[in-house]
């Protein structure tokens, strides 16, 4: 439409004026994905934020992603086009709760998923994303107790993959992925028995899928537990024609765009993250024009959180 065309042109003009880089997560609205300079999973966005030469980073994603960019790049201005774009998973553990948990396990190594507040990261030894959680935990000496937070489904997946007994898992969840249930997988798979399964480890079905896989009830050669960018890569390289996608449905835009002749079936069509969808083209433009909302992390918190985040960016 003319309106969208004008918006896109204005975004381009203001992006140049501000020397800005637009980063977008794979769950953003299609038109926001299309305007991004870099589209990716949490790890790719953190890495892009750490490396850019731009003065301003517009983070089309949620609050913890903008905080991560700000921590890794303190001299840049990081803008979140809607300051209310939060994350139910990040809200499932506070820094006070983590401090109390650490006191119960003195000497334990804390691994926090990147979906956490800057204060929680500052209390952590390592951060990880879904793309490198297994590698991060494997990098910790086997005799060390591990506290993994906040996602219980990713935690139990990592525990299974690493075979680590001395790993404690916080009982947090993402309400969007927790809603993708075991029945969603079995129902979709009976309707599409030849399809390949792409499953995000935050999903409520991921734990039971591990048991089903072990029992041979899921096709081992066609089941893949991956981050969002891992799923996109698999969809491009697999020779399969049909895929069941168990994650937030925003990812289907790129999958379909990159593979026009393949078929993608969401495991649960209602898996929509309301926070990711708060970012619109209008808000992206307003954020560039008005330089808002600036996400800054207090220096002392950022300094401690950066150590955990830099370990995450380096591993995997």
Instruction: Out of 35, 276, 281, 313, point to the residue binding ligand SF4 (CB under 6 A).
Output: 276
Cα 63 to Cα 16: distance, rounded to the nearest angstrom: 24
Instruction: Say whether residue 87 binds ligand SF4 (CB under 6 A).
Output: yes
Q: Is 129 in the site for ligand 13P (CB under 6 A)?
A: yes
CA distances from 230 to 192, 235, 236 (A): 22, 9, 10
Which of 23, 72, 89, 312 is close enough to bind ligand SF4 by CB under 6 A? 89
From the list 42, 112, 124, 293, which residue makes contact with ligand 13P (rule: CB under 6 A)? 42
Angle at 165 between CA 160 and CA 168, to 5 degrees: 90
- Judged by CB under 6 A, the number of residues near ligand SF4 is 12
CA distances from 23 to 34, 100, 200 (A): 11, 35, 21
**Contact range with ligand SF4 by CB under 6 A, out of 171-179, 209-217, 235-243, 305-313:** 171-179
Residue 222 CB contacts under 8 Å (≥ 6 apart), including other chains: 195, 196, 197, 240
Query: How far is the C-alpha of 264 from the C-alpha of 196, rounded, in Å?
Result: 10
Nearest approach, Cβ of residue 63 and ligand SF4 (Å): 9
* Among 200, 223, 91, 93, residue whose Cα is nearest residue 153: 200
Ordered alpha helix ranges (H), 92-218: 95-104, 118-122, 133-138, 152-162, 175-178, 182-191, 206-214
Q: Which is nearer to ligand 13P, 14 or 153 (CB)?
A: 153
Per CB under 6 A, the list member of 114, 267, 273, 279 interacting with ligand SF4 is 273
CA-based Rg of the chain, rounded to a whole angstrom?
Answer: 19
Stretch that binds ligand SF4, among 68-76, 156-164, 260-268, 270-278 (CB under 6 A): 270-278
Query: According to the binding rule CB under 6 A, does residue 229 interact with ligand SF4?
Result: no
CA–CA gap between residue 176 and residue 157 (Å, rounded): 18
The two structure tokens encoding residue 54: 């731009």
Is position 173 an interface residue for ligand SF4 (rule: CB under 6 A)?
no
Q: How far is the CB of 174 from ligand 13P (least distance, A)?
A: 6
Least CB distance to ligand 13P at residue 46 (A) = 9
Q: For residue 199, give the H/E element and its range.
A: strand 196-199
Instruction: State the distance between the two ends of the chain, measured CA to CA, in whole angstroms.
Output: 42
Among 73, 88, 162, 293, binds ligand SF4 (CB under 6 A): 88
**Range in contact with ligand SF4 (rule: CB under 6 A) among 9-17, 70-78, 132-140, 272-280:** 272-280
What residues from 102 to 121 belong to the interface with ligand SF4 (CB under 6 A)? 115
Is 275 one of the binding residues for ligand SF4 (CB under 6 A)?
yes
124 binds ligand 13P per the rule CB under 6 A? no
Q: Determine, following the binding rule CB under 6 A, whether residue 226 of this chain makes contact with ligand SF4.
A: no
Residues near ligand SF4 (CB under 6 A): 62, 87-89, 115, 174, 176-177, 248, 273, 275-276
């Amino acid at each position: 439409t003319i309106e969208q065309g004008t918006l896109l042109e204005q975004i381009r003009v203001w992006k140049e004026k501000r020397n800005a880089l637009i980063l977008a997560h794979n769950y953003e609205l299609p038109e926001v994905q299309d305007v991004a300079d870099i589209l990716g999973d949490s790890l790719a966005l953190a890495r892009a934020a750490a490396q850019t030469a731009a003065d301003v980073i517009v983070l089309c994603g949620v609050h913890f992603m903008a905080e991560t960019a700000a921590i890794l790049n303190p001299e840049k201005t990081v803008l979140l086009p809607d300051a209310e774009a939060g994350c139910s998973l990040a809200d499932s553990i506070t820094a006070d709760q983590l401090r109390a948990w650490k006191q119960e396990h003195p000497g334990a190594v804390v691994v926090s998923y990147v979906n956490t507040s800057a204060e929680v990261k500052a209390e952590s030894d390592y951060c990880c994303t879904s793309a490198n959680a297994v590698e991060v935990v494997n990098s910790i000496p086997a005799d060390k107790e591990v506290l993994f937070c906040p996602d219980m489904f990713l935690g139990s997946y990592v525990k299974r993959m690493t075979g680590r007994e001395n790993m404690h898992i916080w009982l947090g969840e993402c309400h969007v992925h927790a809603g993708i249930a075991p029945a969603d997988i079995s129902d979709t798979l009976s309707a599409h028995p030849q399809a390949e399964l792409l499953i995000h480890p935050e999903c409520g079905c991921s734990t039971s899928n591990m048991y089903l896989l072990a029992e041979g009830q899921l096709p081992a050669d066609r089941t893949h537990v991956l981050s969002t960018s891992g799923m996109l890569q698999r969809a491009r390289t697999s020779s399969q024609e049909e895929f069941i996608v168990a994650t937030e449905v925003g990812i289907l835009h790129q999958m379909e765009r990159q593979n026009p002749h393949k078929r993608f079936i969401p495991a649960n069509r209602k898996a929509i993250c309301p926070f990711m969808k708060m970012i619109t083209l209008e808000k992206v433009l307003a954020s560039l024009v008005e330089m808002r909302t600036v996400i800054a992390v207090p220096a002392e918190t950022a300094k401690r959180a950066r150590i955990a985040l830099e370990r995450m960016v380096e591993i995997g």
